[in-house]
Amino acid sequence: MKIAVISDIHANLEALTTALSYIDSLNIKKIICLGDLVGYGPNPNECVELLTERNIPAVMGNHDYAVNNFSGRKYFNSLALTAIRWTDAALTNENKSFLNALPFTMDLLGQTFVHASPLQPEAFHYIFSLNEAVKNFHAFSTPICFIGHTHSPGIFCEDLVTKTVSHGKKFIVNVGSIGQPRSGDARLCFGIFETETFQFEFVKLPYDAETTQKKISAAGLPKQLGDRLLAGV
């Protein structure tokens, strides 16, 4: 069974609809979201509602958490804080309630899904490096833990060497970001995983980032949030 694993949508409707259209074209029926449906982008309600309409399960991201919990904004930089305040005002009460009810972690189809890290998922620790990944392998019992949060795709194996997902070893797989890539590649990024063969691939697609950039400006959000989409940083 093929599943699509998406993350870090950040209220970018153009990126989300492009990704979903591609997933649909492959006839992939199961999609799982690793959180941060909102924050930074101009279409928080539309993105939340699209996921709910399609019954896409999701876990709690730090921006999702910060909508309803002011303590979650403690470590936000000025851009993130400005955007989450705007998002808080823009979201409907129904969509806020949906975000507030998201779990911090899920085990589905024999794998683990979490926004940031399996170790203390509610703390939203970053996993940028292999050294950081090593501290997390004991925190999940499934073969693979899928993560997002850093907006940069990557594969970490418990043997500290392997870079391709396969049977028999434990992996932490960062699927990258749909709505705000930061790897220097402006294309949206997500993952496709075959549950039986353990084949995994990154998918990177261009989308209409210029429209999202214009929407960000029209909403009165910081200009930098739109400009960075065009550079993938």
Q: What is the pLDDT of residue 31?
A: 98
Domain count, the chain: 1
CATH number, domain with residue 15: 3.60.21.10
Query: What's the angle, vertex CA 231, arms to CA 223 and CA 208, rounded to 5?
Result: 80
Contact (Cβ atoms closer than 8 angstroms) between residue 67 and residue 40? no
Report the half-sphere exposure of 34 (CA within 13 A, side-chain side).
Answer: 33
* Separation between Cα atoms, residue 86 and residue 30, nearest integer Å: 32
Looking at residue 93, its pLDDT comes to 98
Closest CA to 57 of 130, 138, 123, 111: 111
Q: What is the mean pLDDT of each run of 10 residues along the chain (233 residues)?
A: 98 98 98 98 98 98 97 94 98 98 97 98 96 97 98 97 95 98 96 97 98 97 96 93
For 52-85, b/e burial (b = at least 16 CB within 10 A) is eeeebebbbbbbbbbbeeeebbeebeeebebbbe
The pLDDT of residue 148:
98
Which element (helix H / strand E) includes 112? strand 111-114
Q: Which domain holds residue 123?
A: 2-231
Residue 166 confidence (pLDDT): 94
